Structure 1
Amino acid sequence: MKILSAAQIRALDQATIQAEGITSVELMERAAAAFTEWLLEKLAAHPQREVHVFCGPGNNGGDGLAAARLLHLAGQAVRVWLLPAARHSADFTANHQRLPSEVPCIELDAYQLPELSSSAVLVDALFGTGLNRPLTGVAAAVVHYLNNSSAPVVAVDMPSGLLTDAPQPKSSPVVCAHYTISFELPKLAFLLPQNADYVGQWELVSIGLNTTVIHKTPVDNYYTDLKLLTNRLPARQRFAHKGTYGHALLLGGSYGKIGAAVLAAQACLHSGVGLLTLAVPAVGYTVAQTAVPEAMALPDVGQDYIGELPNLKGYSVVAIGPGLGQQPDTLRVLEQLLRTCPAPLVLDADALNLLGSNRHLLALLPPDTILTPHPKEFERLTQPAHDDYHRLELLRAFCARHRCYVVLKGAYTCIGTPTGTLYFNSTGNPGMATGGSGDVLTGVVAALCAQGLAPLDAALLAVYAHGRAGDLGAQQIGQMGLTAGIIAAHLGPALEELTTPPTF
């Protein structure tokens, strides 16, 4: 699914109007109808709740006015509050004129804002995506008023005051919505941690925007969904054997952190790898043999940490990092691996921390290496980010410079590519914020690389399946009870959902 800029969204609206021979008011009616349907479904259990719609002077206000009319026609108690303005958009005016006289419509006064019950529902239709500067005056006062209310706030398309695809000015007032109902495609702003308190829970509703135009619109940001992943994971072959699906080498673990390597190994095995060799320090040998009997355990010469690089011949992929530690001998192993590894590489955890402390080694990264940092680990590889948008710029630059793929972990894990295209993941839940979850992801990436998938496909599928496995686990035991081991156990069903069956 493509992520369009604010300018591209406006162009898409116009292209849909032209292609379908409709008016902008008719397209606005579609948006209002889709929003109203969503809201009425939420209100079905509480039909007595009054809805207060706060409308700005532009097209977002026109959406709000149209929604107010539709809510009224559906029998819902509704009241409209208008932001004072010298000028209004044509579509706002058209919908203002269509508003039934029975619907109270009152102009807002910054000094006499209405007192509203906590049982009311507040609809933010002030500005949407049409804003390019901070709010001031009455508009700012209304935003502060909405944010201080104890009633739930639902934003139409975009919380007012929030910029669609640029950093937010400091101290700029923004509506803190509980829900944001957007149209057709996600906005980049929805996917960034710094905007979480503004966006709340966001959902998409379709308004029939022209699919041909969407297909032709060039973008460098995508939201990963099932459609995007179609045909990337082939079905298992009837006459396949363990050699068909590759042999992965996983180097990890140190004294007190053998569990990280075990979790990565279990995830690798649950993700379809044919063979797995788990290289651990001697202290972890018994643990590895016991906890992961399906893997071949390869004890290192070092007692408490890995200090020697195994023979790399015959491996389809090499992954290093979970629980690795940062000993000087381990650093030498990593450098030797970067210089000599003939197979695809996956780097995580302490392997990334070692790189961050020894940045000269970044020049040794083989092309198409996959790195899986969380934001702090990525910061050690680059520099502190001013904001989430700056972090994305750093991500693009890093991937281009080192010709690598970076899986930047988070609520909407972002995959950076050498071409500059970014992919934001759509699966997962807060219960996955638990120790070992990242180690599990490393195992999935390694397994898919071992099976011969291209690095981009391996990263996309691994991140999606990892999140989906977390969702499946949470469905059974709840988010609070989710552990890394449970995520690993659900990887098989998650990947099965992505498998492409033979065509008929």
Structure 2
Amino acid sequence: MALRTLSAANAAALDKELMSTGAYSLDQLMELAGLSVSQAVYKLLPLNKGTRVLVACGPGNNGGDGLVAARHLHHYGYQPAIYYPKQNKNELYQRLTTQLHALKVPFVTSLPNPLTTSTYDLILDCIFGFSFSGSIREPFPSVIAALASTTVPVLAVDAPSSWDIEHGPPSEGPGKDYHPGALISLTAPKPLVEKFRGRHFVGGRFLGAEVAERYGLVVPPYEGVAQVAEVPVDGEGKL
């Protein structure tokens, strides 16, 4: 099945439509996104292969998706740890962190140097999503550099952090050599996926046929109760 990509502008418009005429709340969309991310982790790292997951969160919605995913991972039997250096003070994000504290999910204040498989079995990159633009401020350049050099498998959520949503990896800076092994596109792939070479999943099983058609999207073939579908890309990055 050939999927179609969704530009950053159209992704923002779609989210706005879902929260207006679609009657979804931000909480609902974040919950569905985080659930999809947690299922992608399970496909990449079954519990019998490892349980230690580092969730690196940024201050925006992408970070919120990571917080939700961490809660689900805890209930599945994983051992998530949260790296969240720029915590969002919005009430929604405060509730998500409170839920994790209640489950005694640890929040770490720094990353191991080097970041190796002796500490974690998988890393979730939930730092920047489709709305990212502009320069990257500390501590995130150092974090992205660590992700680029780590031997730990990385799953990027919606976009490898620092990548341009339309054009892919930057030509310079800490993300120049950052190529995570897996990506989960939320709702629909963004144009950067054409430059991606790893395992690719699509998550966010809530689009109706009418909305998908209006945005020129193809809903992937989700199986059974799955909230995520793996969608191969060929050697040239085409869907």
Taking structure 2 as the reference length, the TM-score comes to 0.79
Q: Distance in 2 between matches of 1:165 and 1:156?
A: 16
Query: In the alignment, what sits opposite 1:125?
Result: 126
Q: How big is the shift at 1:136?
A: 3.5
Q: Distance in 2 between matches of 1:132 and 1:160?
A: 10
Deviations 1:437-484 (A, max 9, x none): xxxxxxxxxxxxxxxxxxxxxxxxxxxxxxxxxxxxxxxxxxxxxxxx
Q: Distance in 2 between matches of 1:108 and 1:154?
A: 19
Contact 2:136 2:162 in 1 (8 A): yes
Query: In the alignment, what sits opposite 1:179?
Result: 182
Contact 2:40 2:201 in 1 (8 A): no
Query: In the alignment, what sits opposite 1:60?
Result: 62
Letter in 2 for 1:144: A
Q: What SS is found at the alignment partner of 2:13?
A: helix
Query: In the alignment, what sits opposite 1:164?
Result: 165
CA distance 1:170–1:69, shift in 2 (3 Å): same
How many residues align? The count is 220
**As a proportion of its length, which structure holds more helix?**
1
> Which protein, 1 or 2, shows the higher relative CO under an 8 Å CA cutoff with sep ≥ 6?
2
Q: Does 1:189 align with 2:192?
A: yes
CA distance 1:113–1:83, shift in 2 (3 Å): farther
Q: How big is the shift at 1:186?
A: 1.6
Q: How big is the shift at 1:212?
A: 2.4
Q: How big is the shift at 1:95?
A: 1.8
Q: How big is the shift at 1:210?
A: 4.3
Alignment of 1:8-157 (within 5 A): 8-44=10-46, 46-84=48-86, 87-88=88-89, 91-101=92-102, 102-108=104-110, 115-118=115-118, 120-157=121-158
Query: In the alignment, what sits opposite 2:236?
Result: 411
Q: Distance in 1 between matches of 2:137 and 2:42?
A: 32
Aligned-residue CA RMSD (Å): 2.9
Whichever of the two has the greater Rg, that structure is 1
Deviations 1:48-97 (A, max 9, x none): 43111111111100000100011001111111111235x55554333223
Letter in 1 for 2:236: A
Identity between Structure 1 and Structure 2 (%): 26
Q: Distance in 1 between matches of 2:82 and 2:38?
A: 15
CA distance 1:114–1:90, shift in 2 (3 Å): farther
Contact 1:13 1:209 in 2 (8 A): no
Q: Distance in 1 between matches of 2:43 and 2:179?
A: 22
Q: What SS is found at the alignment partner of 1:39?
A: helix
Deviations 1:302-339 (A, max 9, x none): xxxxxxxxxxxxxxxxxxxxxxxxxxxxxxxxxxxxxx
Q: Distance in 1 between matches of 2:187 and 2:140?
A: 27
Contact 1:55 1:124 in 2 (8 A): yes
Q: How big is the shift at 1:161?
A: 0.6
Consecutive unaligned residues in structure 1, runs of 5 or more: 227-409, 413-424, 427-504
Q: How big is the shift at 1:113?
A: 5.3
Letter in 2 for 1:105: F
Q: Does 1:215 align with 2:217?
A: no
Letter in 2 for 1:59: N
Query: In the alignment, what sits opposite 1:201?
Result: 199
CA distance 1:93–1:16, shift in 2 (3 Å): same
Deviations 1:247-268 (A, max 9, x none): xxxxxxxxxxxxxxxxxxxxxx
Q: Distance in 1 between matches of 2:99 and 2:20?
A: 24
Q: What SS is found at the alignment partner of 2:21?
A: helix
Letter in 1 for 2:6: L
Letter in 2 for 1:411: E
Taking structure 1 as the reference length, the TM-score comes to 0.40
Consecutive unaligned residues in structure 2, runs of 5 or more: 222-234
CA distance 1:91–1:171, shift in 2 (3 Å): farther
Q: Distance in 1 between matches of 2:187 and 2:29?
A: 12
Q: What SS is found at the alignment partner of 2:180?
A: coil
Q: How big is the shift at 1:146?
A: 1.5
Letter in 1 for 2:202: L
Q: Distance in 2 between matches of 1:88 and 1:211?
A: 36
Alignment of 1:373-384 (within 5 A): none
Query: In the alignment, what sits opposite 1:315?
Result: none
Q: Distance in 2 between matches of 1:42 and 1:168?
A: 23
Q: Distance in 2 between matches of 1:176 and 1:57?
A: 22
Contact 1:36 1:71 in 2 (8 A): yes
CA distance 1:146–1:166, shift in 2 (3 Å): closer
Deviations 1:346-401 (A, max 9, x none): xxxxxxxxxxxxxxxxxxxxxxxxxxxxxxxxxxxxxxxxxxxxxxxxxxxxxxxx
Letter in 2 for 1:29: E
Letter in 2 for 1:204: V
